[in-house]
Structure 1
Amino acid sequence: MTQQSESPTGRTATPRTTTTRTSTTPFPPPAAPRPLGERRVWPRTFHDRLTAPLPGIKALARFAREGAVRPGRDGLADIPRLPFAPGPVPRVDARTVAVSWAGHASWVVQIGGLTVLTDPVWSRRILGTPARITPVGIAWSSLPPIDAVVISHNHYDHLDAPTLRRLPRDTPVFAPAGLASWFRRRRFTHVTELDWWEGAELSGVRFDFVPAHHWSKRTLVDTCRSLWGGWVLTAPDGRRVYFAGDTGYGHWFTRIGGRYPGIDLALLPIGAYDPRWWLSDVHCDPEEAVRAARDLGARRMAPMHWGTFVLSAEPVLEPLTRVRAAWEKAGLDREDLWDLPVGASKVL
């Protein structure tokens, strides 16, 4: 490990590694919280944070030639069998942690008395993608008041303008570096943007932004102009929920677990992984997600980012069957795999 790769800004991209952290590896403590709503100046690009090169001309040509962007007929046949159990968000007190899966990467996280939305996408369709194959699992009208929103990155299946327009403009938003201007143009007034390894506090709950193996792009001219990452939410009593956002497998999981020990629940992506030659750098497959949970030292894992939008070529039910098999093969307690249906909730 180098000092550069563990600096608060992480300006230098670090090669991927699967080395496991040992007990003697030092990790800096979390940084002091940044002021909420702080206006900051960022570099023009975050290309130096990439942990793998973006696809070049040869890769794009191969992708166009093979055209493997959607499952075949057999892979789509299981859409009616996708687990769907819409239900109300549980009523909990400030001492209870609960999560409810609305679908894809959208969770309602209740922690420390706050209700937090992650990457909220309640739209039926997103730009460039066929309509949802599973309805939203939680009706917008049934949501409790939203205390905060966390955004992992700016891809359309994670940053959905029509959904965010439903929120009061004074809703606190926690966003990656370089993304606050997008929210301010839409008249959000309480936006806190953070760099990797930085955190802020709201009503006693800490929001820490952590690295991911991914990238950002929303238009033809803004590749990597804003950062990408995941979030560690820490309640006043110390319980922790890690929301990975969108990420491939790599060295960051071990380092996140080292800086934020005792993660009680990891919300990890398991879908949109086929073909691997195209997507392995930016999306975990189910086996890698289980490995990531172990690298994090997480006590429990809840899979996400599957069964909602068809984004890649694997059969729609395959991520679920593979993550269950990988969890069992790893010898982990079945009760600690929270493979929830869309719309379901679980209380910690």
Structure 2
Amino acid sequence: MPPAPPTPLAPPRTPGAPRLWPKSFADRLTAPLPGLRAFARFAREGALRPGPEGLADIQRLPFEPGPLPRVDSRTVAVTWVGHASWVVRVGGLTVLTDPVWSRKILGTPARVTPAGVAWSALPRVDAVVISHNHYDHLDAPTLARLPRQTPVFVPAGLGRWFTRRRFSRVTELDWWEAAELGGVRLDFVPAHHWSKRSLMDTCRTLWGGWVLTDGDGQRVYFAGDTGYGHWFERIGARYPGIDLALLPIGAYHPRWWLSDVHCDPEEAVRAAADVGARRLAPMHWGTFLLSGEPVLEPLTRVRSAWEAAGMAREDLWDLPVGSSRVLARDPHS
């Protein structure tokens, strides 16, 4: 039986159009959020930070800042700033993902590697995409540095956070919806995660990832923050030919506590295969210490998992913070 044809993509929505949203997106959760018993167990057994042995390699965390690569309108390039922050050059645009340049975020020790790109070294920022509202992905001090007319693309329900801060070009999208900017299509796609920024706003805004597609059909998938699950295959089916997947590999221990919302390195490799990505660039590790695994373990495990999956070593873009990679374009295209 032949495979079903891919689901047609929705036409791009008008940027900045006002929207009405439900009061809660809790029905989008893949798994229930932890209850009182889980919190009690975590208080007994959990570890928010690595122990002394796990911190022993902190000076070896890879940090190699360099100049941003020169690109043209048909070149795709990525630079890892740290955590889930990337400078993505696509279709002639400079797009920031979940920009966090702050040294410290609420409730978390200071970053253990500096931001890999100086803010002053950035070219004009043409757009920002946000995956969800957790403090390590939505950083008010960093966003305050941007001109208020910068186009910002955010999950459903999060637009008001930006308009209250006088951003004037804010586009909210639901899962599987898209917008277009300068010939680049920005699709908001599901993730296995959740949202919360204060005591009273659990799941009041949506969460997800982004697929950026340029005029030549080159695609970069930014997963945001996510656990492993069925959405990856669905994303791959709807957006075939993903050239590069930016996937989280850290903040996964203890597993019983975090498996629903954070991929471990082996799951990230499986997710890259599920979405049909030709290359994987790991992120969400080695910047903020959010959980108990040793600081270098995500890197060593993702390398082993990639090799065990039989994937070409050059297609694992395990970049140091501050490093860049340019996507080679087919010379016959």
TM-score band by shorter chain is over 0.9
* Number of the residue aligned with 1:78: 57
* Number of the residue aligned with 1:11: none
* Number of the residue aligned with 1:325: 304
Query: Alignment partner for residue 206 of structure 1, among 182, 185, 194?
Result: 185
Q: In structure 2, what is the Cα distance between the partners aligned to 1:211 and 1:309?
A: 24
Q: In structure 1, what is the Cα distance between the partners aligned to 2:46 and 2:253?
A: 12
Q: 1:317 to 1:225 in 2, by over 3 A?
A: same
User: Would you say how many aligned residue pairs link Structure 1 and Structure 2?
Assistant: 327
- Deviation for aligned residue 1:25: 3.9
CA contact (8 A) 2:46 2:254 kept: no
* Number of the residue aligned with 1:138: 117
Residue identity in the other structure for 1:333: A
Query: Alignment partner for residue 242 of structure 1, among 201, 215, 221?
Result: 221
Q: In structure 1, what is the Cα distance between the partners aligned to 2:257 and 2:67?
A: 38
| SS of corresponding position for 2:81 | strand
* Number of the residue aligned with 2:242: 263
Q: In structure 2, what is the Cα distance between the partners aligned to 1:23 and 1:328?
A: 31
**Is 1:104 aligned to 2:80, yes or no?**
no
* Number of the residue aligned with 2:200: 221
Q: In structure 2, what is the Cα distance between the partners aligned to 1:145 and 1:212?
A: 29
| SS of corresponding position for 1:335 | helix
| SS of corresponding position for 1:323 | helix
* Number of the residue aligned with 1:345: 324
Large movers: runs of 4+ above 2 Å: none
* Number of the residue aligned with 2:330: none
CA contact (8 A) 2:83 2:284 kept: yes
Cα deviation digits, residues 181-240 of structure 1 (max 9, x gap): 000000000000000000010010000000000000000000000000000000011000
- Deviation for aligned residue 1:130: 0.2
**Is 1:38 aligned to 2:17, yes or no?**
yes
Cα deviation digits, residues 154-178 of structure 1 (max 9, x gap): 0000000000000000000000000
| SS of corresponding position for 2:148 | coil
Cα deviation digits, residues 55-114 of structure 1 (max 9, x gap): 011001111122311111010010100000011111210010000000000000000000
* Number of the residue aligned with 1:62: 41
| SS of corresponding position for 2:53 | helix
- Deviation for aligned residue 1:329: 0.2
Query: Alignment partner for residue 313 of structure 2, among 313, 330, 334?
Result: 334
Query: Alignment partner for residue 285 of structure 1, among 250, 254, 264?
Result: 264
**Is 1:190 aligned to 2:176, yes or no?**
no
- Deviation for aligned residue 1:141: 0.2
Query: Alignment partner for residue 28 of structure 2, among 46, 49, 65?
Result: 49
Structure 2 portions without partners, runs of 5+ = 328-333
Q: 1:23 to 1:227 in 2, by over 3 A?
A: farther
Identity of aligned residues (%): 79
| SS of corresponding position for 2:243 | strand
- Deviation for aligned residue 1:23: 6.2
TM value normalised by structure 1: 0.93
Cα deviation digits, residues 279-323 of structure 1 (max 9, x gap): 000000000000000000000000000000000000000000000
Cα deviation digits, residues 237-291 of structure 1 (max 9, x gap): 1000000000000000000000000000000000000000000000000000000
* Number of the residue aligned with 2:233: 254
TM value normalised by structure 2: 0.97
Residue identity in the other structure for 1:281: D
| SS of corresponding position for 1:199 | strand
Alpha-carbon RMSD:
0.9
Q: 1:217 to 1:23 in 2, by over 3 A?
A: farther
